[in-house]
Amino acid sequence: MRGYKCLRPGRVGPFSGHTWPVGGWVEGRDPALCVRGVHACRIEDLPYWLTEELWEVELDGELRGEGRKLVAERGRLLSRIEDWTHETAISYGEGCAARARERVEAATGDTAARLSELAADVAGVAARGEPALAGYIAARTAEVQAGVDGYAEERAAQAHWLASELGLVRA
C-alpha cells in the first residue's frame, strides 16, 4: 500500500525527531500505539501535515486508519516528491488565500469583516512559505463562512490542488 509522508529537512520525523533512512524498511511494532507505529497519510490528509519535505512511502503489514493518518506495522521511503519545494509551498498558500478572498466576496456585513481579517492572515502566512498554517486558517475561514461543510470543502480543495500540481496518485 502506498501513502505519503511529510518530513522535516533531512528526512526528520516532525514528532519523533528520528531520521528516516532512504529505502530501508522501518519497523513500527504494535500499530495500536501511535508512538510505535509507522505513520503515513493519504492524499486527503496531506493538508493537515505539510512540512518541508514530501515523500512517497510504501506501507506493509497490519494497516489502520486513525484520524487523519494511516498507521502501519512497517514502512519505507520510496521517493521524494521533488516538485514540493519552498516555491510550490508558497503557491499552495496563495491558492488558499485566493479561495479565502472569494469567500469574503460572497459574504456580507460583520461576517465579511471577520473573513477579510482571516483571509489577510492566510495571505501573510502563505507568503512566508508556511503551507500547513495557511491551509489551516483558510479552512477556518471557510468554516466561518459556510460551517462544517465549508471546512470540508476547503480541505478537499487543498488536497485536490496538491494531487494535481504534484501529480500524486491515489493508493
Binding residues for other proteins, rule: CB under 8 A, are 6, 14-15, 17, 33-36, 48-51, 66-69, 132-133, 136, 140, 143, 148, 151
Question: Which one, 80 or 140, has the nearer CB to other proteins?
Answer: 140
Least separation in angstroms between residue 166's CB and other proteins is 18
Q: For residue 47, what are the CA distances in angstroms to 13, 32, 104, 151?
A: 17, 24, 22, 12
Question: Which one, 122 or 132, has the nearer CB to other proteins?
Answer: 132
Least separation in angstroms between residue 15's CB and other proteins is 6
Least separation in angstroms between residue 133's CB and other proteins is 5
Q: Is 119 left (phi over 0), alpha (psi -120 to 50) or beta?
A: alpha
Give the H/E segment covering residue 54.
strand 53-66
